[in-house]
Structure 1
Amino acid sequence: MPHPRITPRRAAPAAAVVMGVTIAAVFTTIPTAYAQTFVGCSAADLDTAITNANNSGGDTLFLSPGCAYDYTSALSGEDATPAITSHITIVGDGATIRRDPAATGTFRLIDIANGGTLSAWSLTIKNGNPTGDGGGVLVQSGGTLNANALTISGNTANRGAGVEINAGGTATIRATTIDGNTAALAGGGIDNPGGSLDLSVSRLTNNTAGTPLVGGGGGGYDQDDGTGTITATVISGNTSAFAGGGIDHDGGPLHVSLSTISNNRALGVPTGTNHPGGGGIWTGTFNAAETLTVDATVITGNSAASGDGGGIRNEFTGVLNLNASIVRDNNAGDRAGGIYNGVNSTVNLRLSSITRNTSATAPGGVYNAGTVTNALSEIMANSPTNCMPSPNPVPGCIG
């Protein structure tokens, strides 16, 4: 079904947790594949190595340390490298796979096809620019990505500029930085329209989704369906032209824990629409009531420039469980710098804090047009008010 908001288609100190995880905790033994091949420092050498690995049923490829594998054109369709169809491990040792700065064509860098598995270590994937989805990495249905200590940066695409996980695809991403990627529609860093994502001890930073003319969602991460788990990760400095500056969650269960969601922006354009906002997180499902659970996470410094919910906006029968988390110092250009809860939607607050949020129109803390429950959570020191006026009461909130 077309995405209803995109044309044409569709609290603990969490940062300390992220930085405190040692490399030894992330890196287990590099898996042994079917053979071992040392790859010379050229794009042609890498293409040959991947092709041979596909034909032989798998391989471990050791790239030349620090080498830049520069691609000037697509090998097939919009793929620079051969599509991965077997079990391949790439040990980068600081190498880079990138679109050559002088290239004129449009192409992605890595394509993991049905039945293919890529395990990649210590590698940079940079500057892919297909007209389709998945600028850095495309994970097709039936494909699997295991990313460890990667940098995925400077890529552009229609959706999923850094990583696109198609319905039926699987991505496990650890100790990885996804930075400075730009999607025309959704998922500047990662787009998940129906696959499975497990993201941990990573950074989604400075990514962008959407344009003023068509809107867009999920500067850092966009999930339309499927499942998502985000743990001990920093999501910061991302921008959406419409909703969900850090995260845009439109379907499928999503669990965020021990993370920091900070300084993201939802610009809320084009104007005249009825639901821009969610500077840190937009959550609201279109097909069925799904749940976003946020545990021990700090949501701070986010803004919804012309909309509601500087920290979080929850809509369309969505269920938000906020546990032991902090929503602080967020701003909305309209209502609810902290949390906006729409009609028929539910927010369950437990041991959380919503403080020092601001908005142009009261309330500045929590706006409730649905149902809010509150178990030992504080809502205070928001401006211009904490929860009033709201269509429905917010338990435990005064003023």
Structure 2
Amino acid sequence: MSNYLAKNNAAESEVAPKRRRKLWLAGVAGLTGVVSIAAVGVATGAGAVGTESPRWSTAQQVNKDGDQAAEEGREGHKGKKDDRGRGDKDRGKEVPCDSDKLIQAIIFANENHGGVLELAKGCTYTLTRSDEFGNGLPVIEENLVLKGHDTKIVRAATADNFRILNVGRGGNLTAKGLTIKGGQTRELAAAGDTPEAVWSRFSNSVEATKVAQAGKDYMPVLQAKPKGAALKAAQAPGEVSVLAQPEPNDGAGVLVQPGGTAQFEETHIVANQAGGVGGGLANFGKASLYHTTVADNTAFFYGGGIFNAGVLQVRESRVTNNDAIIGGGGISNGAAFIFRQDIDGGTTLIEKTEITSNEVLGFGGGYLDIEGNSTIKAAKITDNTAVLAGGGVTAAGDSSIELKHVEVASNSTVGVGGGIALAFGAIANVDDSKVVSNKAGFFGGGVFTVFSEATFRNSEISGNRAVGPLGVGGGIFNVIARTDLDKTKVAHNFATLRPGGVFNFLGEVNVDDKSAITANKPTNCEGSFTPVPRCFG
């Protein structure tokens, strides 16, 4: 798969890999109660996100050398023209290595139809204060280009909590050659939205594994309609999920509001922490990343690295070492809750990108889609971890996900679906891809699917393991779902209990004559409640 991935050319001095927590060491026997969000301290955020211009004080805008207006007159004068006029316009306005002057330059650009800001080479613009809406820099309301040259914009470690960048409605940000680091927003109150409670809307796998551990028949639990779905419907009758407005605590590194647009090239979004969704980036508008790294970010709810509820494109980039509590350690397209309104996933296109070494206490260690549309091409989703479900990829609700030329490998979960977990209405099309060497503590080392549909074409599901004492379905675990295998190999998978290849219960598994289910241990399909055609042993 490495032939599909281009090297990230951006400097990576600030993105040294951190030591990963060993969630797997929690053990399958410790699944019950290991992810209670109540153990994490929370505080309710206040105020609005702020779509209007921030009210920066005059003292904050005045530069050290004299009057602000005089400075703007020197740097932004539009009167006298000379031969250098066109070149100056193309080059943009140079911003000295001073955070006050950066703030001043953005305000001036907002008031004068945008502009290009040439940031100082090798400079660190350290932000120490924010506006009343929790923005470290003025909300971007026009076409603004921030051109860095090994340039960093960081929040001071001792400063109050605030995000770094906010792109408002009508704003269009282009960032190149930057490091955006250290943004932090206050935690929103959990209000009972724990990983277990939210996942119970889509699957009863947590309850089923508890029953299995007690030595009882877990299938009636697993095949029942998820109780959390009924709970949500009862609490909010007639309510439908919508493309929501961001909360004040979303997007610690960057927030793109509905109607806003942002492009990032050769940029690092690192070490930001959101009290809501989107540790590195929360996109409710349009955002694109190219040759960009999103690393070491954290979100209190969804999208440790990136949260999307708009249109997102990520190309030839890296999303690595990010963490979330409920869903989508690396990237989350959409969010579900129990006691608040859902956020529909948007539309994402991920190409030639690595999503690696991300973690979540809930589901979707690498990538999560809820009620959205996702296309992932020529990518690697590897070495991610989830406690409840979907170490690599999770799709839930009325979501649609397409994987093409994708390697889903070496991901793990204490629960179900080491590589891929599909639940309650999800549809997945997997073409020319590999689901290999993933690990689950209970059901579906490679693929776990319940009340969903999946098609695998010209693909391989091999070397996956369901390794716990009650592990079943090393390759595929299919319950009241439909899985189609077209020119696909399911081989060399392992489960503690039979079958090791494909487990099917009241579902439909279609195997064409060019597919093979072979060399799985302890059996290929023997032990399934519902027979699997063209499967022997």
Structure 2 length-normalised TM: 0.65
Contact 1:33 1:88 in 2 (8 A): no
**Pairing 1:38-187 to 2, within 5 Å after superposition:** 38-103=94-159, 105-131=160-186, 132-157=249-274, 158-166=276-284, 169-187=285-303
Which amino acid is 2:264 matched to? A
Question: Equivalent residue of 1:48, what SS?
Answer: helix
Following TM superposition, by how much is the alpha carbon of 1:389 offset from its aligned partner in structure 2, in angstroms? 5.2
Which amino acid is 1:292 matched to? I
Question: Is 2:394 the counterpart of 1:282?
Answer: yes
Following TM superposition, by how much is the alpha carbon of 1:33 offset from its aligned partner in structure 2, in angstroms? 7.5
- TM-superposition CA deviations, 1:12-46 (whole Å, max 9, x none): x1x342235878xxxxxxxx988820001011010
Distance 2:294 2:178 in 1: 12
Contact 2:277 2:299 in 1 (8 A): yes
Map of 1:242 onto structure 2: 362
Map of 1:387 onto structure 2: 502
Distance 1:139 1:172 in 2: 11
Map of 1:29 onto structure 2: none
Contact 2:135 2:164 in 1 (8 A): yes
Gaps of 5+ in 1: 1-12, 24-31, 211-215, 269-276
Distance 1:391 1:338 in 2: 19
Question: Is 2:305 the counterpart of 1:189?
Answer: yes
Displaced runs of 4+ in structure 1, greater than 4 A? Answer: 20-23, 32-35
* Distance verdict in 2 for CA 1:75–1:20, change over 3 Å: closer
Which amino acid is 2:417 matched to? G
- TM-superposition CA deviations, 1:96-124 (whole Å, max 9, x none): 00011232x00000000000000010000
Distance 1:267 1:299 in 2: 17
1:364 to 455, 474, 491: 474
Root mean square deviation, CA, Å: 1.6
- Identity fraction in percent: 31
* Distance verdict in 2 for CA 1:163–1:33, change over 3 Å: farther
Distance 2:444 2:89 in 1: 52
Distance 1:22 1:191 in 2: 24
Distance 1:43 1:76 in 2: 18
Question: Equivalent residue of 1:388, what SS?
Answer: strand
Distance 1:291 1:51 in 2: 41
Gaps of 5+ in 2: 11-87, 187-248, 335-344, 512-516, 518-523, 526-537
2:459 to 334, 352, 371: 352
Map of 1:258 onto structure 2: 378
2:347 to 208, 227, 233: 227
Map of 1:28 onto structure 2: none
Map of 2:432 onto structure 1: 324
Q: Which has the higher strand share?
A: 1
Distance 1:21 1:165 in 2: 22
Distance 2:387 2:282 in 1: 23
Contact 2:8 2:317 in 1 (8 A): no
Structure 1 length-normalised TM: 0.86
Distance 1:145 1:221 in 2: 17
Contact 1:35 1:59 in 2 (8 A): no
Map of 1:10 onto structure 2: none
Question: Is 2:403 the counterpart of 1:294?
Answer: yes
Question: Equivalent residue of 1:394, what SS?
Answer: strand
- TM-superposition CA deviations, 1:217-260 (whole Å, max 9, x none): 00000111211110000000000110000011101210001000
Following TM superposition, by how much is the alpha carbon of 1:322 offset from its aligned partner in structure 2, in angstroms? 0.5
- TM-superposition CA deviations, 1:372-399 (whole Å, max 9, x none): 1111000011002111354435333343
Distance 1:391 1:265 in 2: 29
Contact 1:33 1:58 in 2 (8 A): no
Question: Equivalent residue of 1:46, what SS?
Answer: helix
* Distance verdict in 2 for CA 1:239–1:387, change over 3 Å: same
Which amino acid is 1:245 matched to? G
Distance 1:219 1:34 in 2: 40
Following TM superposition, by how much is the alpha carbon of 1:362 offset from its aligned partner in structure 2, in angstroms? 1.3
Distance 1:73 1:22 in 2: 32
Map of 2:327 onto structure 1: 217
Distance 2:89 2:373 in 1: 33
Which amino acid is 2:257 matched to? Q
Contact 2:9 2:266 in 1 (8 A): no
Distance 1:101 1:227 in 2: 35
Distance 1:335 1:33 in 2: 61
Map of 1:18 onto structure 2: 5
Question: Equivalent residue of 2:151, what SS?
Answer: strand
Distance 2:115 2:5 in 1: 32
2:315 to 181, 187, 200: 200
Distance 1:165 1:297 in 2: 24
Distance 2:270 2:401 in 1: 27
